[in-house]
Structure 1
Amino acid sequence: MTDSAPPSGLPENPARGQPHDESAIKSAVARLRAIADARAATVEIELLVTSDFAVIEPIWKQLQTTCGLTIYQNYHWQKAWFETLGRAEGGSAVLVVGLLDERAVFLLPLTRLRKRGLTILTSMGGTHANYRFALFCREAGAVNARLVSDLPALLAKALPFSVDILDLPLQPLAWDGIENPLAARLPSTQSAVGGSSVSLISDFNAVLERGNAKRKRKILRAQERGLNELGGYRVARTDSPAEDRRLYRTFLAHKAPWFAERGIPDKFANAATRAFFERLADDNALLPRGEKLIEFDYVEADGKILALLAGGTFDGQHFGYFTSIIHDEKYASLSPGAFTFYKRIESACAEGLRRFDFGVGSERYKASWCDEEHPLVDVLVPLSLKGRLYAGAKRLKTGLKRQIKRNPTLWRFVRQFRQRLAGKS
């Protein structure tokens, strides 16, 4: 007599000829994880804190080679931000390092702020950093997971001052396939926005074929015809601090009417923000060849810069910061902004980059390119009664923002209300 085969799709247990017990497998995996966590718990981690970037620079740069990062975790980017915008906002640097057997396995750059009687520790970068996570050595996963779980208590012991809340917004769940322990192990709520990017290969046509390739090529041909009718055009990229400053001034001129029409304060026009982006331009020389803290790609025609895109390149990835188009209806039909994105993504493929990141937000032009979504959470760890009140209010505010942005009717109403406040009809 022949034994019957196991049900289709289920592996056979060689000893019994029966399907594996899925619950037993899950239980075994959980026990193995518990053993790994128990071993990690026996390891002594030392937490060190400094406010001195120079002291921590070699540790930071060494960790940059062992972590999955964005440009917003780059040492020179963070230092430039803190020494301009961070200080202008009244912050003081709190640079936290986790050591294991004299080896750095964790680095969390924080800013200490005093607001409404609260002491807040928040991740550096402010509104100009789209992803605000820490540096974790990828080989120390279990140790870092325990370190993050114990972080509030460890910080309370290591810091010479009391803290009301740990506020770490815009934490990706993972980057480059590496889990972010801050998002996984600490209390969090979904951010009001998410991030998105397009993965790249050297064959730009293959990237284009992932979605609406025929339509994109058709639009490009029409744009090129229109630009040529203006007497020709030039696609270029800045390559010096002086050029970066010139393009930043152009960006401000492009964007001022946009902000005014929508009743939104122009966060780019203040002196500290200008100093930050100028500092990035000056510090480009500190990065290896092929990497930039900031550069501008732009299209020029009819004697004017019609559109520009600012971003930085780090670890084989390009990160978009901001974009603008000329405020002139004469050029609107050319969609120069979309044209600039097309050309920049095309050049990124030719340069061998592996990712083009659009940052946070859900604009339509991003969706036409992106094949990677980056869900984000806001970590809030209250350490006092005042901190709990702050966390509750912020969670409520974030949830309201998220609902408004996901509801086209509500979002349109908010935009119209801003315009009325700005004195526009």
Structure 2
Amino acid sequence: MDAAVRSLTSLDIPRADKPDTPHLTSAAGAADVELALISDRKAFDALEDEWNALFERAGKSIHVFQTFNFCWHWASHYLADTSANAGTKLSIVTGRRNGRLIMIWPLVSERTHGVTQTFWLGEPVAQYGDALVDPEPDAEAILRAGLAFARRHVASDVLRLRRVRADANVAGLFADAGASIADRQIAPYMDLSSAKDFAAFEERFSSRARRNRRRLARRLEEKGPIEFVRLHGGVNAGDLAADAIAVKAEWLKDRGLVSNALSDQRTTSLFADLAAGREKPVPCVVSALKSNGEIAAYEVSFTCKGRLVIHVMAFKLDFEKAGVGVLLLEQNLKQGFVENLATYDMMAPGDPYKLDWCDKSEAVVDWVMPTSLRGFLYARVYLGFLRPRLKSALKAIPQPLRRILRNVAAA
């Protein structure tokens, strides 16, 4: 058997002295299920057809980041440079019954600052994490077996599984498994299926809000013609997506903030490839609003089984007070009805501007499960105590001072 694939047919076994050694016993509540750990890129690539078949059978609209193609693009960018990512490796748990792939936990492990963390494959780009599982009568037991297998056989100090929706397949597993909550957020969304068209949908907004958007459009038109662009793949879409990342990073810089993900060149190149859709396409929508020929605002989104998730919203600082982001979102909502989208998902966090549009939301939780003493200390001291206080302290700093401190740190 390939050393990168270690199989198991059990859940209730003691932690092994040598995790690479296979162990066989009966699986409690998940009989005849063979579990395996995939850490090799070739073994991951070989899953393509089976992964796609499982997704067609069991994937939900919330699993936009668990498609094989999305994960493949992520691996091609974030695992490509082995020298820079020597501590990063695939840790995918699969489950088979009678040889058929019925479960996937898409995980990856990375060692930084002396601690090995296991997180959802796709981080930091993926925004929702979940495992795929066939709708078997014992699906929950199969998922529990997969989680237990990961805890025993992935060489990790802590499982840090972020942004698990309340309606995710795995949402009910972690509390019973002794996991702790590192963060709680909400993911606001709009239910487009609740209205026959945009005109009917717009009635839920106040007359004041509708008048305000018309006023913004008139003022922008005074500067020159307005043009909306909406692309589904292609070179131009890839270029626009890369520009959107740069504009978003500039917006954060202006506010004295920094995003490690957006400042990573791999993120820019990944978004460009996803948007262009040249190989193993992922349904990506790139839109822009132009004012007098100049791009003023961007939106990069992904679609899956009737759901659109807005991943990047950005506008140029010169247009900050022109409401270009609002106008672009309004136009895209109209297109959402044209394209028969059922859900317009603005994802976590539940920022006030999102709640102005959305009247529904889903709880999203970050779960932490230490598997070693080092991981326990990391989870308790850093994730549980220091990190939230540092984030709160940063938010409390006035924006001009944040900008100065950021510029000093970057110098």
Q: Is it true that 1:369 corresponds to 2:357 in the alignment?
A: yes
Equivalent position of 1:33 in the other structure: none
| Equivalent in the alignment of 2:53 | 62
Pairs within 5 Å for 1:407-422? 411-413=395-397, 415=399, 417-422=401-406
Identify the residue that residue 377 of structure 2 maps to in structure 1. Answer: 389
In the alignment, structure 1 residue 113 sits paired with structure 2 residue 132: no
**Change in 2 beyond 3 A, CA 1:146/1:240:** closer
CA-CA distance at 1:59 after TM superposition: 2.1
1:360-409 residue CA offsets vs partner (Å, 9 max, x unmatched): 1222221012132121222222222112112213123465478x39xxxx
Helix, strand or coil: the match of 1:324?
Answer: strand
Percent identity, please.
23
Q: Against the structure 1 CA distance between its residues 239 and 354, is the aligned structure 2 distance closer, same or farther, given a 3 Å change threshold?
A: closer
CA–CA distance in structure 2, aligned partners of residues 170 and 240 of structure 1:
27
Q: Distance in 2 between matches of 1:371 and 1:140?
A: 33
User: Is the 8 Å Cα contact of residues 71 and 293 (structure 1) preserved in structure 2?
Assistant: no
Q: How do 1:24-423 residues align onto structure 2 when only pairs under 5 Å count? A: 41=29, 43-50=31-38, 51=40, 52-65=43-56, 66-68=58-60, 69-87=62-80, 89=85, 90-137=87-134, 139-140=135-136, 143-151=138-146, 153-155=148-150, 159=153, 162-175=155-168, 180-183=171-174, 185-186=176-177, 187-189=179-181, 191-201=183-193, 202-212=196-206, 214-252=207-245, 254-266=247-259, 267-283=261-277, 286-287=280-281, 292-328=282-318, 331-393=319-381, 394-397=383-386, 399-400=388-389, 404=392, 411-413=395-397, 415=399, 417-423=401-407
**CA distance in structure 2 between the partners assigned to 1:100 and 1:184 by the alignment:** 27
Structure 2 counterpart of 1:6? none
Gaps in structure 2 of 5+ consecutive residues: 1-26
What is the match of residue 3 of structure 2? none
Looking at structure 2, the residues matched to 134 and 119 of structure 1 have their Cα atoms a distance apart, in angstroms, of 21
SS of match in other structure, 2:273: helix
- Aligned partners of 2:297 and 2:313 also within 8 Å: yes
Cα distance in structure 2, aligned partners of 1:152 and 1:220:
48
**Count of residue pairs brought into register by the alignment:** 368
Name the amino acid aligned to 1:297: S
Q: How far did 1:42 drift? A: 6.1
| Alpha carbons 1:234, 1:300 under 8 Å: kept | yes
C-alpha separation between the residues in 1 aligned to 2:176 and 2:99?
A: 24
Cα deviation code 1:289-343 (max 9, x no counterpart): xxx5433111112120111111111211111111111221xx4443000110111
CA deviations 1:47-98 (Å, max 9, x no partner) are: 1222322211122112212132331112111111122135554411122111
Which secondary structure state, in structure 1, belongs to the residue aligned with residue 32 of structure 2? coil
Is the alpha carbon distance of 1:191 and 1:423 closer, same or farther for their aligned partners in structure 2, counting shifts above 3 Å? same
Cα distance in 1 between the residues matched to 2:164 and 2:387: 14
Compute the TM-score of the two structures, normalised by the length of structure 1. 0.78
Q: Distance in 1 between matches of 2:150 and 2:228?
A: 49
Secondary structure at the residue paired with 2:317? coil
- In 2, Cα distance between equivalents of 1:257 and 1:269: 10
CA contact (8 A) 2:161 2:368 kept: yes
Contact 1:121 1:167 (C-alpha < 8 Å) held by counterparts? yes
Letter in 2 for 1:316: G
Q: 1:165 is aligned with what amino acid?
A: V
Q: Report deviation, 1:240.
A: 4.1
User: Aligned partners of 2:31 and 2:253: how far apart in 1?
Assistant: 56
For the pair shown, the structure with the greater C-alpha radius of gyration is: 1
For 1:419, the aligned partner's letter is R
Preserved CA contact (<8 Å) 2:245 2:268? no
1:7-26 mapped onto 2 (5 Å cutoff): none
Alignment root-mean-square deviation, CA: 2.8
